[in-house]
Amino acid sequence: MAVNIRGKSLLTLLDYSREQIEYIIELAAFLKAERRAGIRQRRLTGKSIVLIFEKTSTRTRCAFELAAAEEGAQVTFLTNSQLGKKESLEDTAKVLGRFYDGIGFRGYEQKTVEELATYSGIPVWNGLTDMYHPTQVLADVLTIKEKTCKNLSDVKLVYSGDARNNVANSLMIISAILGMHYTALCPPELAPEPELVKKAEELAKKSGGSIITGSDLSLVEGADAIYTDVWVSMGEEDKISERIKLLEPYRVDMDLINKTGNPNVLFLHCLPAFHDTNTEMGKLVEKEYGIKEMEVSDEVFRSRHSVVFEEAENRLHTIKAVILASLGAV
């Protein structure tokens, strides 16, 4: 299936059609198989991309840099720039648009990535903002498709936890577009924004999918996959106590896994995950609040249900697919 995405930015999946998203996922699967066979095509020889990251990163930065390098592109990881200091975002974007073929951005405000696309005139890829995380959920759906071997229209995906964060927003959107059945399992205080839910419901009506939001743990019944994310995102460290009180009932442990009634249910997480005390955050939470696990139990994280590292690997393949398609290299 060939779909033309040349010159198109990836700012939010709301801007993509079902056919375009399916094409990227299909292309990512092809590129994954190609890489495992040791085939290198270097389709981006002569191209250059720049990465602007306001937030720390492991998977997103590595995936962007490696995806571009394997296809022959040059990469600049921009640090100590004048952006927002001695130079406006608009002026910087106009300069970068004359130097580079594409921009990868990871940061805070959604409007920043949108303005980069407006003023640079080249494809801009959203590697995470406070509102959306589209490259992550492309990898998530590829993983679900691989591991369930089901049509996506038959998949029930349950997100348990803070259901109004960037990952949950993007999961709801992609589920609605692709006809999946999405459930946001969360306390009312952390439910997704009503306007976004309304938009997702409209998309799901067209695709044959469904969107459900609720706080009853029985909503996990029949799930093909359970997804969670950290209870406290970057910049929200002052909310740890509040989030623990709200979200402890929604920790993904074996009791919740068993409530699905599906012995083959998958567990997904975008990582990093606070499943033990082997991190600074983990040690702090244990010391201050007396708990050793946050959003997922260590038992589930290390269980046969967990596909988190396959999911992490798929970040590389889906990001490579996005870059190649938007730069017209496939």
Q: Kindly report, residue by residue over 99-108, the tens digit of the pLDDT.
A: 999 999 999 9
Cis link prior to 272 (omega < 30° from 0)? yes
- Give the pLDDT of residue 2: 67
Q: Kindly report, residue by residue over 212-240, the tens digit of the pLDDT.
A: 999 999 999 999 999 999 998 766 778 88
**CATH superfamily for domain 151-223+225-261+266-304:** Aspartate/ornithine carbamoyltransferase (3.40.50.1370)
- Give the pLDDT of residue 237: 75
Q: Would you say 317 is a known binding-site residue?
A: no
pLDDT < 70: residue spans in the chain: 1-2, 234-235
Give the C-alpha separation, 285 to 283, whole Å. 6
Region 13-132+315-326: CATH code: 3.40.50.1370
Sign of CA dihedral 256, 260, 261, 263: negative
Q: Would you say 298 is a known binding-site residue?
A: no
CB 307 within 8 A of CB 267: yes
Q: Would you say 98 is a known binding-site residue?
A: no
Shortest CA distance to 13 belongs to which of 185, 188, 196? 196
Provide the mean pLDDT of the chain.
Answer: 96
Q: Would you say 263 is a known binding-site residue?
A: no
Q: Which residues lie below 8 Å from residue 189, measured CB to CB, with a gap of 6+?
A: 246
Q: Where in the chain is the domain with CATH 3.40.50.1370?
A: 13-132+315-326, 151-223+225-261+266-304
Q: Would you say 275 is a known binding-site residue?
A: no
- Give the pLDDT of residue 72: 98
Q: Would you say 166 is a known binding-site residue?
A: yes
Please tell me the pTM assigned to this model. 0.96
Both tokens of 243, joined, read: 């989030």
Could you give the residue numbers annotated as active site?
106, 133, 136, 229, 270, 315
Q: Would you say 20 is a known binding-site residue?
A: no
